[in-house]
Amino acid sequence: MVSKDLHLLDKYSSSDLVKQVSRKIQNLQIEKKLNLMEICGGHTVAIMRYGINQLIPGNIRLISGPGCPVCVTELSFIDKAIEYAASNDFIIATFGDLVRVPGSKDTLEKVNGLNNNIRIVYSPYDALKMAQKNPDKKVIFLAIGFETTAPATASTVMLARKENISNFFILSAHKLTVPAMKVLVHTEEINISGFICPGHVTTIIGARSYQFLAEEYHIPAVVSGFEPLDLIQSIYMILSQIKKKKAMTEIEYKRSVTFKGNTRAQDMMYQVFQKEDVTWRGLGEIRQSGLGLVPEYDMFNIEKIYPVKIKTPGEPKGCICGQVLRGVKIPLDCPLFKKICTPENPVGACMVSSEGSCAAYFHYS
């Protein structure tokens, strides 16, 4: 029994409690080979950092899916941003990770030397303020991320319209988690026995979004937090379902997640965005898996107002990032891993972001 006085975070990082749950997993005596997929970069990092994969039996494999927003952002998006950055009329406002992601030829970081017009921001709102301060420039916010970040982009676009700011634009690569999961459960490349579902995304979309997994595919899904106890407990919950031959959606991360999610954020997102068919790095085009601005907000869509043409690029030679993102291979299978591809000199996107699988393996494996 955990003392009520124990600080919440101490509880969730307690090695004694983690070991207790690890023993409960061993006691389930599951002998089948199983693949459990996490689809959140934060989970990938936590699993590697805390060695969660070493606390479970060898026949239970933890595999990473397309959960790192920078990693799944298609090469053509970087090439488009570079094309805009080539003109001194534009300021490119972006999250820091993205500037080091290789496009087909360059990174945003490398081309910044030409016009010095690429700026790191911490939120879309920072980009909006930048537009107000620079009325003679057109500020483009590189809008990437899943349902966690899309509501903030939506609220900023609404604010831009309310305040009549006409030099603020977005280049959207926002993506939706559930359509990608549907593709993954259909793929014959990998047999997924259970999903460790993302904590932050589900805070917005609600755990009910995963009910199709149990109902249509008999696959258990547990929404997990990010501390070691969260993750090992989520794995135990999935394996307990498998042991009992059950499949349902459960929430381990009750501190933040509900079944309904944040309906206000969902409403805001769909006032500004609509679902579109988009391309994911590693997964190809997925129907209705991205978010583009609704026609009413077209004036903030940089591709509608100032379209650019780029050639469809291929993936960097030798990089198996796509297979890593589908859970078919792990970074250690890549011949370039640690030899040519490092966080200082990344060849593919999975080595750039701290949430990328290759970066997580580089730092913690």
Binding site for ligand SF4 (CB under 6 A): 319-321, 324, 331, 334, 336-337, 341, 347-348, 350-351, 358
How many residues can be counted in the chain? Answer: 365
Nearer to ligand SF4, 176 or 350 (CB): 350
Nearer to ligand SF4, 110 or 129 (CB): 110
Query: Closest separation between CB of residue 79 and ligand SF4, Å?
Result: 18
Query: Closest separation between CB of residue 74 and ligand SF4, Å?
Result: 15
Nearer to ligand SF4, 81 or 319 (CB): 319
Query: Closest separation between CB of residue 347 and ligand SF4, Å?
Result: 4
Nearer to ligand SF4, 62 or 350 (CB): 350
| Reduced 3-state DSSP string for the chain | CCCCCCCHHHHHCCHHHHHHHHHHHHHHCCCCCEEEEECCHHHHHHHHHHCHHHCCCCCEEEEECCCCHHHHCCHHHHHHHHHHHCCCCEEEEECHHHHHCCCCCCCHHHHHHHHCCEEECCCHHHHHHHHHHCCCCEEEEEEEECCCCHHHHHHHHHHHHHCCCCCEEEEEEEECHHHHHHHHHHCCCCCCCEEEECHHHHHHHCHHHHHHHHHHHCCCEEECCCCHHHHHHHHHHHHHHHHCCCCCEEECCCCCCCCCCCHHHHHHHHHHEEEEEEEECCCEEEEEEEEEECHHHHHHEHHHHCCCCCCCCCCCCCCCHHHHHCCCCCHHHCCCECCCECCCCCCCHHHCCCCCHHHHHHHHC
Nearer to ligand SF4, 77 or 273 (CB): 77
Query: Closest separation between CB of residue 109 and ligand SF4, Å?
Result: 16
Residue at shortest CB range from ligand SF4: 348
Nearer to ligand SF4, 150 or 347 (CB): 347
Query: Closest separation between CB of residue 319 and ligand SF4, Å?
Result: 3
Query: Closest separation between CB of residue 162 and ligand SF4, Å?
Result: 41
Nearer to ligand SF4, 228 or 331 (CB): 331
Query: Closest separation between CB of residue 70 and ligand SF4, Å?
Result: 11
